[in-house]
Amino acid sequence: GENVEQHPSTLSVQEGDSAVIKCTYSDSASNYFPWYKQELGKGPQLIIDIRSNVGEKKDQRIAVTLNKTAKHFSLHITETQPEDSAVYFCAASENTGNQFYFGTGTSLTVIP
Amino acid sequence: KAGVTQTPRYLIKTRGQQVTLSCSPISGHRSVSWYQQTPGQGLQFLFEYFSETQRNKGNFPGRFSGRQFSNSRSEMNVSTLELGDSALYLCASGSGEVNGELFFGEGSRLTVL
């Protein structure tokens, strides 16, 4: 089955700096890569996603890049704010429904 | 529009017992997925139900089972509980579209003593 690895496990940045989280996957059949944000005591929430026919996608301060050849994808957050502090999960999926393989998460702390 | 509702939110069981967790998806959603979240393993996929049929299944033992009713509400059951089953169980609702957005509930936190 698919194996998704995520780094780093913890990340601290100063407010206004950028944060980058990286993930790798093993199954070349995976073609959908969402990113979820989980705040304390809440369920994960989708923040951005990318499909295999696209190399980069941007939504305001958040961007995701995908390198299918190398089987890795990354989340970039610019101009970080304290409310960006949360745990971020990457995931990968094939066209089989809603079966997602998640990374182990990155705890991001933005220091005011 | 009401979100995903999971009950109970917290429960404590002892080894060998069984437990049933419930999930009410967003109105109109036909897909319900279940994930187990633990500090060391992250989110692991249990199973997905779509229109009362199991569409996908993860690599969990047969002690973990689920079902979906005609109103799209879903239940999952864990029999013969083990200490390692202590976790946050998350339910996610979706429209049913393949690789569509998942809307997660706040989870049911199970502690096995």
Query: What value does the mean pLDDT of chain B take?
Result: 94
Q: What is the pLDDT of residue B41?
A: 82
Which residues in chain A have their CB less than 8 angstroms from residue B100's CB?
Answer: 98
The DSSP bridge pattern shows strands A10-14 and A4-7 to be unpaired
Q: Between B34 and B97, whose confidence is greater? A: B34
- The CA distance from A44 to A81, in Å, is 19
Which residues in chain B have their CB less than 8 angstroms from residue A32's CB?
Answer: 99
Task: Give the mean model confidence (pLDDT) for residues B80-91.
Answer: 97
Selected residues 9-68 of chain B with any CB under 8 Å from a CB in chain A: 31, 33, 35, 40-45, 48, 50, 55-56, 58-59
Q: What is the pLDDT of residue B2?
A: 75
Residue percentage of chain B with pLDDT more than 70: 99
Q: Report the 10 Å Cβ neighbour count for A95.
A: 10
* Predicted confidence band of residue B1 (pLDDT cuts 50, 70, 90): low
pLDDT at B42 over 90: no
A19-25: strand order across its sheet: A4-7, A19-25, A72-77, A62-67, A56-59
Which residues in chain A have their CB less than 8 angstroms from residue B95's CB?
Answer: none
Residue percentage of chain B with pLDDT more than 90: 88
Task: Give the mean model confidence (pLDDT) for residues B90-98.
Answer: 89
Taking 50 as the pLDDT cut, the residues of chain A under it are none
Three-state DSSP class for B39?
A: coil
Among the partner residues A44, A97, A101, nearest to B104 by beta-carbon distance: A44
Structural Rg of chain A based on CA atoms: 13
